[in-house]
Amino acid sequence: MDLVRDLLDVQLVDREGQGLGRVDGLVLRLREGAPPRLVALDVGAAVAARRVHPRVAAVLRWFTRRVLPSVRTVRYAPALIRDVGIDVELDVVASDDPRLLRFEKWLSRHVIGKIPGGRA
Amino acid sequence: MKNISKIGLGILTSIGGYLEVGSIGTALQAGAQFRYGLLWALAVGTVCIAVLTEMTGRLAAVSQHTVVDAMRKRFGVAFQIWPLATQVVVDLFVLASEIGGAALALQFATGVSIRVWAIPTALLVWALLWFGTFATIENGVALLGLITLCFVVAAVTLGPDWHDAARNLLPHTRSDHAAHYAYLAVGILGATISPYLVTFYSSGGVEEHWKAKDLTPNRLVAALGMSFGALVAMAVVVVAALVLAPRGIRADTYQEAAFVLTIPFPRWGWTLFWMSLFIGCVGAALELALDASYIVAQSFGWDWGESQRPAEEARFAMVYTLGLAVAPIPALAGIDPLKLTMFSMALTVVVLPIVVAPLLVIMNDKQYLKSHTNGVASNVAVAAIVALAFLLAAVAIPLQIVGAG
């Protein structure tokens, strides 16, 4: 597998096919006398913004901290990868895990779901 | 029968390209000021947009993924942020123009100012997205959009010089009023080959669960859908050439031109005009608001789709809700929707190359397209469209300055 070609920027989905975001960053650990090792897939606007421009990242960090604290970077272990295709499937279920899709769930519960017709 | 229902996506997409406030406005101006002289711009634009939609529909059918999805994966976030940011801005400007256009249509219908109608119109569009599904929106707009065929009936009734019209289907320039002529030509091409049509159509293919077996319908839908739009837009040019030009009306505003159908249809002309404008603008507004949600959601890997309840895809619903909250502002401020749309079109043209150029890579990616990658002819066509896109982008802003008057 080619990390940048096959993993970076790829759509992540959970076991139920729900979108978990895109791989915004890869974390490698450098090892003495051995090739670097992939230790995590990062998903988060802050990580993506760092790849665009440091200033964009700084503005975004300021904004999310003050206005949208539920926007957080999520770190997935490579061992969770179940399948690599056009999308990458991870061995998690977002609806059961309070650490995942925090902003989506917050927005759904407190804003969108409160507007008439928002829920079925 | 199922294949006939697919045509809805083609017609809905083409309404956003040909029958929205800017396209009808430029077509009226083109006919009023240059008679059949700019029909070729519609013909060229139609070939380009039909080629692009066929490709992105093919991508959707074979891979169940969209252009934006493939673009983010192949080019990375540092590139993707540019087409995304510029396209969101363009979508918002054009969305605001459409809200203004639909409100203007209601002003023609009732005599009450567009400032009064701006917010109700935006609310109507939002409610259709909030409560509706993709299929109801697509089929509803496609069916109601057929009313715009009244322009075709009008054109035939007025009895144009078919030879003269046909000769003008080939590109040519003019020596008199050259700058304004070029300005309108770029406006028509820009309004027709819109980047949001490309991203919208491929998202629509995924919404409709197209599979590889739908490749032939996709080809037909792209060709027929765009031909429908082109036919109506050309009819608008012809009607304007036969009604407005002899009376010396330049159609610089909609108010000057709104009577255009009352000459062929004295009784129903006024109603048909405002209804066509209203349905075209509302259809385009739905398409643009959805497109903004699609491209943001796909760029960041959120779940997306118009058929789920809003609370199941809260971020997706949030994008179009925010978009429609700001869209009525220009109309409330009294900005003429036609002026706003001409400016938006110049922006659209500038964005076009960065959305179209990546297709050269994406449409040759075997992981997405398997055995259905572009052939030589398709690649040459994309390269030609990219070249045209760069040319248009280079001249759009200067022409906006020298040719607008």
Predicted local distance difference test score (pLDDT) of residue B2: 61
Q: Which pLDDT belongs to residue A24? A: 96
User: In the prediction, which pLDDT does B176 show?
Assistant: 83
What pLDDT is recorded for position B349? 87
Q: Is the pLDDT of residue A87 over 80?
A: yes
ipTM: 0.95
Q: Do B318 and A111 touch (CB under 8 A)?
A: yes
In angstroms, what separates the C-alpha of B366 from chain A's closest C-alpha?
11
Q: Could you state, in order of their start, the residue ranges of all structural domains in chain B?
A: 2-402
pLDDT at residue A44, rounded to an integer: 92
Predicted local distance difference test score (pLDDT) of residue A65: 87
Question: Who among B78, B301, B304 is closest to A21 (CB)?
Answer: B301
- Could B130 and A107 be called an inter-chain contact, meaning their C-beta atoms sit closer than 8 Å? no
CB-closest option in B73, B304, B317 to A112:
B317
Please name the residue of chain A whose CA is at the shortest distance from the CA of residue B317.
A112
Per-residue pLDDT of A11-37, as tens digits, reads 999 999 999 999 999 999 999 999 999
Q: Do B310 and A112 touch (CB under 8 A)?
A: yes
User: Which band of pLDDT confidence, cut at 50, 70 and 90, is reported for residue A69?
Assistant: confident
Judge: A107–B314 Cβ closer than 8 Å, yes or no: yes
pLDDT of residue B1: 53
Residues 6+ apart with CB under 8 A from B181: B34, B37, B38, B173, B174, B403
* Interface probe, candidates A13, A108, A110, A114, chain B, greatest B C-beta count within 10 A: A108
**What pLDDT was estimated at residue B3?**
66
Q: Mean pLDDT for each 10-residue chunk of chain B (405 residues)?
A: 76 88 93 95 95 96 96 95 94 96 97 96 98 92 94 95 92 86 90 91 94 93 93 97 96 93 96 97 96 97 94 96 97 90 83 92 95 96 94 86 73
Residues of B in contact with A89 (CB under 8 A): none
CB contact A18 to B (< 8 Å) = yes
Domains recognised in chain A with CATH numbers? 3-93 (2.30.30.240)
A11: contact with B, CB 8 A cutoff: yes
What architecture is domain B2-402? Up-down Bundle (1.20)
Q: What is the pLDDT of residue B34?
A: 95
